[in-house]
Homo-oligomer: A and B are copies of this chain.
Amino acid sequence: MDSRLRRPADPDPTKVPTMNALRVPQSSDLAGALTAVRERAPLVQNITNYVVMNTTANALLAVGASPAMIHAPEEAGDFARISNALVINIGTLSAPWVRGMRAAVSAAADRSVPWVLDPVGAGATPYRTDVARELAALRPSVIRANASEVAVLAGQLVGGRGVDSLHSPEAVSDAAATLARTCECVVAMTGEVDYITDGVRTLRIRNGDVLLSRVTGMGCTASALVGAFLGAGHDSFLAAAAAVALLAVAGEDAAAAASGPGSLQVQVLDTLYHMTPAAMAARLRLE
């Protein structure tokens, strides 16, 4: 628990591998980004949903970050000021929690603390869509979402059955790029293929396993890991890509070792804990 209370020193910019803003990072860049997470143990504040609090805290610990789940309006802003990154996930949102999210995002903006938005279920109800749109407009560093949520936030669709209305992979990819340009952020859209885009560059990650869709919270875990990579000092594109890639590769290994979704959830944590940059680089399938 001690680690929750210590924020590492701000990253030394001379040691942070930053990407050329116009270059698409390669496998070695994504894999190498893990090293800084392990070395810096970033303090990552999560205002997330009840379903995944335990599993995302454990995923963050497994990669070497320090998670803190702090949501009350009375303290969410104070804590965001001392965090290295902030994760906002609306999975089980309610009015008091949204107040905490606003306080944390506002404080993060004051202190240039990077943050991730996971707009879970945007489009499913008007309330959820409204909150997701409000938060997306507050300049997250990264939006991590599925195709349906991206489509809703990109304004192409109304209602919660968006993904069925996107007739081609190209349309899906275009929605992500549109959202990235609109929100001036990086969009990490996960699914059978994962897309990372800032509206100009797009990276596709073709790792993962279908069994991951039978465990709750894998998308939420990806969002939490984006927080870990942001908190380690990486730029938004590299942080989003490295986090999504790490979970996809770990998920493949975990699925190979698991005998069902219960053991998969366990294996994912073990695999994240043992993953090395070399093993990750060797396995990545990027486009």
Please encode chain A, from 190 to 228, with 1 for each CB lying within 8 Å of some chain B CB and 0 for all others. 010000000000000000000001111101000000000
A270 surroundings in chain B (CB, below 8 A): 258-263
A49 surroundings in chain B (CB, below 8 A): 69
Q: How far is the CA of A79 from the CA of B219 in the complex (A)?
A: 21
The answer to whether A265 touches B75 (Cβ under 8 A) is: no
Residue from A53, A120, A270 having most chain B Cβ neighbours under 10 A: A53
Task: Assess A5 versus B72: contact at CB under 8 Å? Given A54-B55, A261-B269.
Answer: no
Is A1 interfacial (CB-CB < 8 Å)?
A: yes
The answer to whether A266 touches B273 (Cβ under 8 A) is: no
Is A67 interfacial (CB-CB < 8 Å)?
A: yes
A62 surroundings in chain B (CB, below 8 A): 214, 260-262
A258 surroundings in chain B (CB, below 8 A): 270
A120 surroundings in chain B (CB, below 8 A): 1
The answer to whether A79 touches B260 (Cβ under 8 A) is: no
Q: How far is the CA of A269 from the CA of B215 in the complex (A)?
A: 10
Is A96 interfacial (CB-CB < 8 Å)?
A: yes
Which of these, B124, B260, B266, contacts A274 with CB under 8 Å? Answer: B260
Copies in the complex: 3
A161 surroundings in chain B (CB, below 8 A): 5-7
The answer to whether B127 touches A74 (Cβ under 8 A) is: yes
The answer to whether B51 touches A54 (Cβ under 8 A) is: yes
Minimum CB–CB distance from A204 to chain B (whole Å) comes to 18
Q: How far is the CA of A260 from the CA of B53 in the complex (A)?
A: 19
Q: Chain A interface (Cβ within 8 Å of chain B)?
A: 1-7, 49-55, 57-58, 61-62, 67-72, 74-75, 78-79, 82, 91-96, 120-121, 123-128, 146-149, 160-164, 191, 213-217, 219, 258-263, 265-271, 273-274
Q: 11 more A-B contacts (CB under 8 A) besides A69-B91, A265-B269?
A: A1-B120, A51-B57, A51-B69, A57-B217, A58-B216, A62-B260, A62-B262, A71-B94, A75-B127, A78-B125, A259-B270
